[in-house]
Amino acid sequence: MDNTELHHAPEGLVDTNVDYTKMTSFADVRTVFSAESIKLWQIAGPIAFSILCNYGVNSFTSIFVGHLGDLELSAVSISLSVISNFSFGFLLGMASALETLCGQAFGAGQVEMLGIYMQRSWIILLGGCICLLPIYIYAEPILILLGQERDIAELAGVFTLQSIPQMFSLAINFPTQKFLQAQTKVGFLAWLGFVALILHVIILVLFMKVLAWGTGGAAAAYCTTAWIIALAQAAYVIGWCKDGWRGFSWLAFKDLWAFIKLSVASAIMLC
């Protein structure tokens, strides 16, 4: 669960400024390319795997709902693809402001600031979730206004209301995720994503097959898995990232407006 161990540059190709010297042969190019590719994939590989597992949660939710019938599948698919994906993208965009701030702080050796920035992002994303609530509450009339069939819109509206806890989990999930990525602690994210996906399937079987809760069971499983991921990430940060996490601080409430403007700008760019 420690930082990803990066390979050092090959000896003989590095000057006193810790940069590559001029390459004079194809063998040098191949050596440097191999070393840099390993560095890249040691960070990008676990992140990509974690994202695939997160998308797998949505996919398995739709697969299990598909066993209930065409109406249920259509309603849940629309809820996940229209409402949930919009809030997911908007909140992820807001949290992306941490990529710049945490990267700068970590590079400058101000690791203790990572925890402050993360807490500040928690506050702002929780506010963003509150702003997005009307979309969840009025999902049914919104979908009808967009031309969706009434029976599908009605069931999608119910599922969307039941999925509100999942949206709030993202306010914890995304900032802690960026906090860990800035320190290249991505191995934990990959393992957590894999374990959460397995647990999600088990919870779906329990709620939908054993207890026969229908689409309500799918929503409950969706929210439960989301909060397992969010709380596990937060627990890892608080328990095992003492360099960046120095405890809760009132500094998280400082310069909120500037942070809000940066977060909203990041969200708009991503959307």
In this structure, the number of other CB atoms found within 10 A of the CB of residue 82 comes to: 17
For 14-18, 35-39, 196-200, 214-218, which range has the lowest pLDDT when averaged over its residues? 14-18
The percentage of residues in the chain with a pLDDT greater than 90, rounded to a whole number, is 69
Q: Token pair for residue 90?
A: 């908007």
Three-state secondary-structure class, residue 49:
helix
Q: Tell me what pLDDT residue 1 has.
A: 47
pLDDT tens per residue, range 64-95? 999 999 999 999 999 999 999 999 999 999 99
Q: Are 174 and 95 in contact (CB under 8 A)?
A: yes
The DSSP string of 172-225 is: HHHHHHHHHHHTT--HHHHHHHHHHHHHHHHHHIIIIIIS--THHHHHHHHHHH
- The residue type of 169 is S
Fill in the amino acid letter for 170.
L
Tokens matching residue 195: 């374990």
pLDDT of residue 7: 44
Q: Which helix (H) or strand (E) holds 55?
A: helix 26-66
Residues 6 or more apart whose Cβ sits within 8 Å of residue 119: 175, 248, 249, 252
CB atoms within 10 A of CB 109: 8
What is the value of pTM for the model shown? 0.87
More confident residue, 13 or 119: 119
Q: Which of 162, 163, 173 is nearest to 196 (CA)?
A: 173
- Residue 267: the pLDDT is 86
The answer to whether the beta carbons of residues 84 and 167 sit under 8 Å apart is: yes
- Read off the DSSP letter of residue 9: P
Q: DSSP H helical segments within 79-186, as ranges?
A: 85-95, 97-107, 112-137, 139-145, 150-162, 164-182
Chain-wide mean pLDDT for the chain?
Answer: 90
Residues 6+ apart with CB under 8 A from 116: 249, 251, 252
**pLDDT at residue 11, rounded to an integer:** 52
Instruction: Report the pLDDT averaged over residues 234-252.
Output: 93
pLDDT in tens, 199-209: 999 999 999 99
CB 220 within 8 A of CB 166: no
Residue 17 has pLDDT above 60, yes or no: no
Q: How many percent of the chain have pLDDT more than 70?
A: 92
Kindly report, residue by residue over 123-170, the tens digit of the pLDDT.
999 999 999 999 999 999 999 999 999 999 999 999 999 999 999 999
- Find out whether 142 and 135 touch, Cβ atoms under 8 Å: yes
Confidence at residue 22, expressed as pLDDT on a 0 to 100 scale: 72
Mean pLDDT over 38-53 rounds to: 92
Report the candidate in 194, 160, 164 with the shortest Cα–Cα distance to residue 55.
Answer: 194
Q: CA 168, CA 222: separation in Å to the nearest integer?
A: 12
- The per-residue pLDDT for 84 is 94
If one compares 238 and 34, the residue with the highest pLDDT of the two is 238
**In the predicted model, is pLDDT for residue 18 greater than 70?**
no
The least confident of 6-10, 114-118, 200-204 is 6-10
109: left (phi over 0), alpha (psi -120 to 50) or beta: left
